[in-house]
Amino acid sequence: MKSKILSIIFCLSTSFPTLYAQGKPFAIEHGPYLQGLTENGVTIVWTTNRKAISWIELAPDDSTHFYLTERPRTYAESFGFKMVDSLHMVTLKGLKQNTTYRYRIYSQEVLSHVGTKVTYGEVAASNVYRSRPLKFTTANPGKKEMNFLVLNDIHGNNELMETLLKGTDWKKTDLVFFNGDMTNDIRSEEQLFGDFLDKAVELFARETPMYYARGNHETRGNFATTFPKYFPAPGGQLYYLFRQGPVCFLVLDCGEDKPDSDLEYSGIVAFDRYRDQQAEWLKNAVKQKEFLDAPYRVVIIHMTPFGGWHGEQEIEQKFIPLLNSADIDVMLCGHLHRYIHRKAGNGINFPVIANANRAVIKAAANQQQLVIEVVDAEGKTLDTLKISPEK
Ligand SMILES: [Fe+2]
């Protein structure tokens, strides 16, 4: 489904016939959606139907009209160039924490680049005239309360995602995790957006940040290697740590479930070495101040550290010993398509929740407790877990 963002097309220097010379008018196709939001930055991602340079205009969240004045621009840039692509990501840095900003996305088509001459085409932008400008709020480690949701194993079922998120109060929801297997595999950009991302944009992702923990199905398909380009996390890896309010989240990238040599992977994966690399990162991550200072420490990872398959065993052997000595409060997983709540024990020092594929985790943290509620597609609460903060 195409983005419902209305695109405004400005004919800058060309006439009407040129506008249609390449078929459809130049337009924003998918997005925008927020990625890697932290205390002082965020990356905003969208696509256009043809290659372009892109930028964001940013305005404070005051009562002024967006058109009051020229708003400062930040371009999508790399190695000193404005990026020319159909996938656009603008990283805003140096923002104030706990601050709401209004934003507008722009792309200008690049018709040709011959020698030193670049020819530009039309500009497409999100609407700030008939619609209110889009907004985001930077993270705030001092925030007393925060709320988050976790979805997993949707496997391309947009209707199910919509059902699970129905009734969500987005004003009170700080962030959403996609905890893996949102699709069966990744074969093209169109499929990626069609399977779940357009629906996420429609429901929340333009203004509420979504953080991804890759599942073992996002590693499959010929387009899977491009996954990191669409989901730029804090730190530039698919495993990362960030803080919002009283919670520090450790997001881990589980890899595949079978041995790397399995027939199904055609010799193209190296997840054992990748999990070694993550374990090295994890050793230092759990020593960081933002992690140590957090009243709650929550691990997000798609596969469970139990189940008997190779990937699960790797998680148990490579990650659990490090997490066991890091005062983790809870680990949130998916993958098994049924609900499991394992209390601390059997070599794991914290509870592990495996959320079902037809349920959503709704969590609320304040100074007194972290409450994790698991709610199924019929709205029935399957389980509630209450955790006290670190002393
Ligand atoms: Fe899975």
- Give residue limits of the domains in the chain: 8-137, 146-387
How many Å lie between the centroid of ligand 1 and the Cα of residue 264? 15
Question: How much distance in Å is there from the Cα of 334 to the middle of ligand 1?
Answer: 7
Distance 112 CA to ligand 1 centre (A): 43
CA 2 to ligand 1 centroid distance, Å:
27
User: Cα(299) to centroid of ligand 1, in Å?
Assistant: 16
State in Å: Cα 283 to ligand 1 middle: 25
Ligand 1 centroid–CA 217 distance in Å is: 6
Q: List the end-to-end C-alpha distance of the chain, in Å, as a whole number.
A: 48
336 CA distance to ligand 1 centroid (A)? 7
CA of 113 to the centre of ligand 1 (A): 43
Give the Å distance between the CA of 64 and the centre of ligand 1.
47
CA–centroid distance, 133 to ligand 1, in Å, is 37
What fold is seen in the domain 146-387? Answer: Purple Acid Phosphatase; chain A, domain 2 (3.60.21)
CA dihedral 170, 173, 178, 182 (to 10 degrees): -20
Write out the two tokens for 75: 């371009």
Residue type, 285: A
Stated pTM of the model: 0.93
Instruction: Output the CA 258–ligand 1 centroid distance in Å.
Output: 11
Residue 13, pLDDT score: 42
Please tell me the distance between residue 288's alpha carbon and the centre of ligand 1 in angstroms.
Answer: 29
Residue 340 structure tokens: 């499991």
Alpha-carbon distance of 258 to 144, in angstroms, equals: 42
83 CA → ligand 1 middle, Å: 34
How far apart are the C-alpha atoms of 159 and 175, rounded to whole Å? Answer: 20
Q: Along the 391 residues of the chain, how does pLDDT read in single tens digits?
A: 444 444 444 434 444 444 454 589 999 999 999 999 999 999 999 999 999 999 999 999 999 999 999 999 999 999 999 999 999 999 999 999 999 999 999 999 999 999 999 999 999 999 999 899 999 999 999 999 999 999 999 999 999 999 999 999 999 999 999 999 999 999 999 999 999 999 999 999 999 999 999 999 999 999 999 999 999 999 899 999 999 999 999 999 999 999 999 999 999 999 999 999 999 999 999 999 999 999 999 999 999 999 999 999 999 999 999 999 999 999 999 999 999 999 999 999 999 999 999 999 999 999 999 999 999 999 999 999 999 997 5
In the reported structure, the alpha carbon of residue 61 is separated from the centroid of ligand 1 by a whole-number distance in angstroms of 40
Cα 98 to ligand 1 centre (Å): 34
Determine the distance separating the centroid of ligand 1 and the alpha carbon of 260, expressed in angstroms.
16
Distance, in Å, from the CA atom of 200 to the CA atom of 191, rounded to the nearest integer, reads 14
Tokens 């190695």 identify what position? Answer: 79
Cα of 263 from ligand 1 centre, angstroms: 18
pLDDT score of 23: 82
Give the C-alpha distances (Å, rounded to integers) separating 254 from 29, 94, 275. 31, 31, 8
Name 164's Cβ contacts closer than 8 Å, sequence gap at least 6: 151, 358, 359, 360, 375, 377
Q: Which amino acid is at 65?
A: H
User: For residue 181, how far is its CA from the centre of ligand 1 (angstroms)?
Assistant: 5
CA–centroid distance, residue 304 to ligand 1 (Å): 9
Predicted confidence at residue 12, as pLDDT, reads 41
**Residues around ligand 1, an ion, CB closer than 5 A:** 181, 215-216, 335
Domain at 8-137: CATH architecture = Sandwich (2.60)
Ligand 1 centroid to Cα of residue 183, in Å, is 10
Q: How far is the CA of 152 from the centre of ligand 1 (A)?
A: 9
Ligand 1 centroid to 3 CA: how many Å?
28
User: How far apart are the CA of 339 and the centre of ligand 1, in A?
Assistant: 13
Q: Are the CB atoms for 255 and 275 separated by under 8 Å?
A: yes
Compute the distance between CA of residue 123 and CA of residue 50 in angstroms, rounded to an integer. 11
